[in-house]
């Protein structure tokens, strides 16, 4: 059981930023990644559809005999985490709790910005979790729907990305937040543009850093940490365009991956 892989999934390349943090925190673990790039973005899809997609992907990953599941998609984590948790009996980790934990640890003023997909913002998941722990906090959430297609296209560090970030984040920048959560796993790939759009004293938190530590603890507590010294094997599967994914993976993972295209749902 200890030597089984960890399953990770997202709508596309975004979850690779989470995979990177997991590789850094748990360098001995095997990873199996699924990016549903053919159906990205997930950002404004209905919860029922997100549940159907998650079911298909989790069945695929469970067939690969994973020991834990990371929902490396902010939207699924925010909208249907409880439903996804019930789809399997292995440990499941999502992105909302780690993001909120990191933000509450970083903020001094309690003025917290959340940038995320439209679905995540509509769910109010971050706001609810923040206010439960810090009732005097002020949460400002902004949907940034163009960030995901920009990232999937590999346009993560150009003037279009800079201008898009400036427009989306102008109110947040003017609102004297001291901490901002990257509420979508694609957004760390736009970090340069996001930094330029916010005042330099705003702390930007990537939930994946805390998630990787939470995962380490979860595996340790469950006796599931891989003990073998041999190098881990990572596998990457996608539903969409391989060339695009492999190219962006070099940015997101800092190593390129040779993704395999799979037909989960009768796609071309
Ligand atoms: N990266 C995912 C998230 O964290 C999905 C974004 C999308 O596909 O719209 O929300």
**Which ligand 1 atom is nearest residue 74's CA?**
4
pLDDT at 54: 98
Cβ of 185 below 6 Å from ligand 1: yes
Cβ of 148 below 6 Å from ligand 1: yes
Of the two residues 133 and 254, the one the predictor is more confident about is: 133
184 in active site:
yes
On whether the CB atoms of residues 193 and 157 are closer than 8 A, the answer is: yes
73 in active site:
yes
pLDDT above 50: residue 268: no
How far apart (Å, rounded) are the C-alpha atoms in residues 207 and 214? 11
**What is the mean pLDDT of the segment spanning 115-141?**
98
Cβ of 73 below 6 Å from ligand 1: yes
Task: State the distance from the centre of ligand 1 to the C-alpha of 229, rounded, in angstroms.
Answer: 34
Q: What are phi and psi of 112, to 5 degrees?
A: -120, 130
pLDDT at 267: 54
pLDDT at 191: 96
Beta bridge partners of 10: 35
Task: State the distance from the centre of ligand 1 to the C-alpha of 138, rounded, in angstroms.
Answer: 24
Task: State the distance from the centre of ligand 1 to the C-alpha of 185, rounded, in angstroms.
Answer: 6
How far apart (Å, rounded) are the C-alpha atoms in residues 17 and 4? 21
Q: Which range, of 60-69, 201-210, 252-261, averages the lowest pLDDT?
A: 252-261
Residue nearest to atom 9 of ligand 1 (CA): 43
Task: State the distance from the centre of ligand 1 to the C-alpha of 72, rounded, in angstroms.
Answer: 8
Average pLDDT across the chain, whole number: 95
Cβ of 186 below 6 Å from ligand 1: yes
pLDDT at 266: 67
Cβ of 202 below 6 Å from ligand 1: no
**What is the torsion angle, in degrees rounded to the nearest 10, for the CA atoms of residue 142, residue 54, residue 33 and residue 194?**
0
**Helix (H/G/I), strand (E/B), else coil: 206:** coil
Which residue reads 């994946």 in tokens? Answer: 208
Catalytic residue among 184, 198, 204, 215: 184
Instruction: Give this prediction's pTM.
Output: 0.96
Cβ of 42 below 6 Å from ligand 1: yes
Task: State the distance from the centre of ligand 1 to the C-alpha of 28, rounded, in angstroms.
Answer: 27
């Amino acid at each position: 059981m200890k030597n089984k892989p960890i399953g990770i999934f997202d709508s596309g390349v975004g979850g690779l930023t989470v995979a990177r943090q997991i590789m850094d925190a748990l360098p001995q673990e095997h990873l199996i990644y699924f990016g549903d790039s053919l159906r990205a973005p997930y950002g404004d899809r209905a919860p029922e559809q997100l549940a159907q997609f998650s079911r298909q992907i989790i069945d695929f990953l469970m067939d690969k005999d994973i020991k834990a599941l990371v929902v490396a998609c902010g939207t699924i984590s925010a909208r249907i985490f409880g439903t996804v948790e019930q789809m399997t009996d292995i440990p499941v980790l999502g992105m909302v709790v780690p993001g909120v934990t990191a933000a509450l640890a970083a903020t001094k003023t309690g003025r917290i910005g959340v940038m995320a997909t439209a679905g995540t913002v509509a769910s109010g998941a971050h706001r609810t979790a923040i206010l439960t722990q810090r009732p005097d906090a002020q949460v400002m959430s902004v949907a940034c729907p163009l960030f995901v297609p920009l990232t999937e296209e590999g346009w993560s560090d150009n003037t279009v990305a800079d201008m898009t970030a400036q427009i989306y984040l102008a109110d947040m920048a003017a609102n004297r937040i001291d901490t901002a959560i990257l509420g979508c796993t694609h957004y760390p790939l736009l970090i340069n543009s996001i930094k330029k759009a916010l005042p330099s004293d705003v702390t930007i938190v990537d939930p994946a850093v805390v998630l990787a530590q939470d995962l380490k603890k979860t595996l340790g507590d469950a006796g599931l940490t891989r003990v073998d010294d041999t190098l881990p094997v990572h596998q990457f599967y996608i539903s969409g365009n391989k060339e695009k994914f492999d190219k962006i993976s070099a940015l997101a993972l800092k190593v390129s991956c040779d993704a395999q295209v799979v037909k989960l749902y009768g796609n071309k």
